[in-house]
């Protein structure tokens, strides 16, 4: 079940919210647990048992880690091995077999196994909970239903943000319900829905057209690169907005996952703003335990490469994701070798252009099917003089999608957020409800028409 579907918007969500607010507070967690299991069962009926088994193991290992201090490291290691082992089997087994066959000239048969939706996200949540219990940063949860509710909580179950147990530990026991919070949740959800349906899906359609075309012009390649870059941002940030909005409706405060990443002035800054819950997870549970910045320069480079190799693999079981991760890792290593005092001398607008160009190329890699396709789309951006600057076809699609692209560019910046004048704010307060109703109506029309697609991050 996806958020941008009639089933969720007009059946599942209204029924869950109605029951949730009717029952006494002591039953709200139970309603959320049941609702979340139904939500997951609807999309992955055969893998709901896998998630339940994972939850039970997490609960048991949490108790063992807390109770038996001397053996806690052993229990933690065993729990991580099991969790990562399941993730490797379901997500990477055929990628491993494919490469063994390629390099060793074997003929091992592929294993038919479907990727359970959201397994990358809930696996990381379980691991962070156990590590925090081991470190004493989180109090062990002795109620299995509460730990099950935390892991399976439907707003963030499928594509994040990766909500750590420490983020909502107190909220699981007690949370605040107000009309203002609920209304802010609705507002955030509608904005996310609009990002997904009216921008990401429209740009996704443009990308499909471009990839299916035999067109060969500079404008063609730039149109593809920019639309891919914007599509991925609005698709994923749209989901995060919807998840955070749903959390508010249910009384939770989830961490922010995006902070206008396309306004970043460096790659380091970009990753402080993009998929924040993932980048901080790798920082806290991989990079810092490896020694972080407190080691020699060689080891620091090693740590960065390990983290970004894993970041790439986390996104998918294909070589383009590995290349994508190492691409960022190498760029971050280069940036960290240059003292800040030199970087700060470069005008900010040049740093922003450099960052956008690097990120744009990264998403060509991210979205590529094979190395040949990736290189063609990157080189095509700079083949000035070798191919036509524009063509009738590329110009047609540029004009057709121009308004969507401009809206997307504006929406990915802080321009609208920085409107602080009192008069402007009064106008916004009047217009905003009408705007939100319009976004909801048009988005619903698109959904009913079938003009939408699943979230890109569902495959992770």
Query: pLDDT by residue (tens digit) across 399-414?
Result: 999 999 999 999 998 8
Say if residues 2 and 8 touch (Cβ distance below 8 Å). Answer: yes
Is the model's pLDDT at 453 over the cut of 80? no
Report residue 369's pLDDT band, with 50, 70 and 90 as the boundaries: confident
Residues 21 and 134 in one domain: yes
Residues 321 and 432 in one domain: yes
Domain end point (choices 142, 162, 180): 180
Candidates 158, 68, 167; CA nearest to 122 is 158
Please tell me the distance from the alpha carbon of residue 250 to that of residue 29, in angstroms, as a whole number. 10
Say if residues 119 and 108 touch (Cβ distance below 8 Å). Answer: no
Is the model's pLDDT at 456 over the cut of 60? no
Residues 176 and 196 in one domain: no
Average pLDDT over residues 117-129: 93
Say if residues 198 and 442 touch (Cβ distance below 8 Å). Answer: yes
Is the model's pLDDT at 117 over the cut of 80? yes
Q: What pLDDT is attached to residue 409?
A: 93
DSSP bridge pairs for 386: none
Is the residue at 444 inside a domain? Answer: yes
The whole domain housing 263 covers 181-459
Candidates 106, 113, 150; CA nearest to 252 is 150
Residues 171 and 209 in one domain: no
Please tell me the distance from the alpha carbon of residue 45 to that of residue 146, in angstroms, as a whole number. 22
The alpha helices in 105-217, defined as continuous H runs, are: 119-135, 144-152, 154-157, 165-173, 179-194, 201-211
Residues 64 and 167 in one domain: yes
Residues 121 and 255 in one domain: no
Residues 163 and 200 in one domain: no
Residues 159 and 204 in one domain: no
Is the residue at 1 inside a domain? Answer: no
Is the residue at 228 inside a domain? Answer: yes
Please tell me the distance from the alpha carbon of residue 233 to that of residue 200, in angstroms, as a whole number. 8
Q: What pLDDT is attached to residue 421?
A: 58
Please tell me the distance from the alpha carbon of residue 311 to that of residue 162, in angstroms, as a whole number. 14
> What SS3 class is residue 387?
strand
Encoding tokens for residue 176? 């605040």
Is the residue at 27 inside a domain? Answer: yes
Is the model's pLDDT at 209 over the cut of 80? yes
Say if residues 188 and 344 touch (Cβ distance below 8 Å). Answer: no
**220 tagged catalytic:** no
Residues 371 and 445 in one domain: yes
Residues 260 and 143 in one domain: no
Please tell me the distance from the alpha carbon of residue 237 to that of residue 274, in angstroms, as a whole number. 9
Domain end point (choices 180, 206, 226): 180
Which of these is catalytic: 3, 315, 394, 460? Answer: 315
Please tell me the distance from the alpha carbon of residue 453 to that of residue 397, in angstroms, as a whole number. 20
Residues 121 and 27 in one domain: yes
263-297 tens-digit pLDDT: 999 999 999 999 999 999 999 999 999 998 888 88
Domains of the chain: total:
2
Is the model's pLDDT at 451 over the cut of 70? no
Residues 185 and 175 in one domain: no
Q: What pLDDT is attached to residue 357?
A: 96
Domain end point (choices 163, 180, 197): 180
Residues 6+ apart with CB under 8 A from 319: 371
Q: What is the pTM of this model?
A: 0.91
How many Cβ atoms are within 10 Å of 346's Cβ, its own excluded?
13
Q: What pLDDT is attached to residue 417?
A: 72
């Amino acid at each position: 079940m996806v958020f941008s579907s009639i089933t969720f918007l007009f059946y599942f969500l209204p029924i869950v919210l109605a029951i949730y607010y009717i029952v006494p507070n002591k039953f709200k967690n139970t309603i959320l647990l049941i609702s979340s299991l139904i939500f997951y069962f609807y999309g992955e009926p055969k893998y709901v048992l896998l998630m339940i088994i994972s939850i039970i193991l997490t609960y048991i290992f949490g108790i063992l880690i807390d109770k038996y201090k001397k053996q806690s490291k052993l229990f933690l290691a065993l729990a991580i091995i099991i969790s990562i082992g399941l993730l490797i089997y379901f997500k990477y087994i055929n990628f491993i077999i494919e490469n063994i066959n390629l390099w060793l000239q074997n003929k091992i048969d592929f294993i038919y196994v479907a990727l359970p939706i959201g397994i990358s996200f809930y696996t990381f949540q379980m691991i962070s909970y156990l590590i925090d219990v081991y470190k004493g940063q989180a109090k062990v949860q002795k109620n299995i239903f509460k730990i099950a509710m935390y892991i399976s909580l439907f707003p963030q179950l499928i594509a994040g943000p990766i909500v750590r147990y420490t983020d909502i530990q107190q909220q699981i026991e007690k949370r605040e319900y107000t009309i203002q919070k609920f209304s802010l949740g609705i507002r955030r959800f509608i904005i996310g829905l609009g990002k997904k349906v009216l921008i990401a899906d429209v740009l996704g359609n443009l990308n499909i057209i471009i990839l299916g075309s035999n067109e060969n012009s500079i404008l063609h390649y730039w149109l593809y690169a920019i639309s891919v870059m914007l599509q991925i941002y609005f698709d994923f940030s749209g989901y995060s907005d919807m998840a955070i909005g749903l959390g508010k409706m249910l009384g939770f405060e989830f961490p922010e996952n995006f902070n206008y990443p396309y306004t970043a002035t460096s790659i380091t800054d970009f990753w402080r703003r993009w998929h924040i819950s993932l980048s901080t997870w790798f920082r806290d549970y991989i990079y810092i335990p490896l020694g972080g910045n407190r080691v020699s320069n060689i080891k620091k480079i090693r740590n960065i490469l390990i983290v970004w190799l894993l970041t790439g693999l986390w996104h998918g079981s294909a070589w383009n994701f590995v290349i994508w991760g190492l691409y960022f890792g190498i760029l971050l290593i280069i940036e960290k070798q240059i003292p800040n005092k030199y970087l700060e001398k470069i005008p900010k607008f040049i740093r922003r252009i450099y960052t956008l160009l690097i990120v744009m190329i990264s998403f060509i890699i991210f979205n590529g099917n094979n190395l040949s396709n990736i290189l063609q789309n990157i080189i095509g951006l700079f083949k000035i003089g070798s191919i036509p600057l524009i063509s009738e076809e590329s110009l047609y699609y540029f004009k057709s999608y121009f308004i969507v692209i401009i809206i997307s560019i504006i929406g990915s910046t802080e321009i609208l957020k920085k409107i602080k004048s009192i008069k402007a704010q009064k106008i916004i307060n009047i217009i905003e409800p009408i705007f939100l109703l319009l976004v909801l109506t048009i988005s619903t029309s698109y959904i009913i028409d079938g003009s939408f697609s699943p979230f890109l991050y569902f495959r992770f």
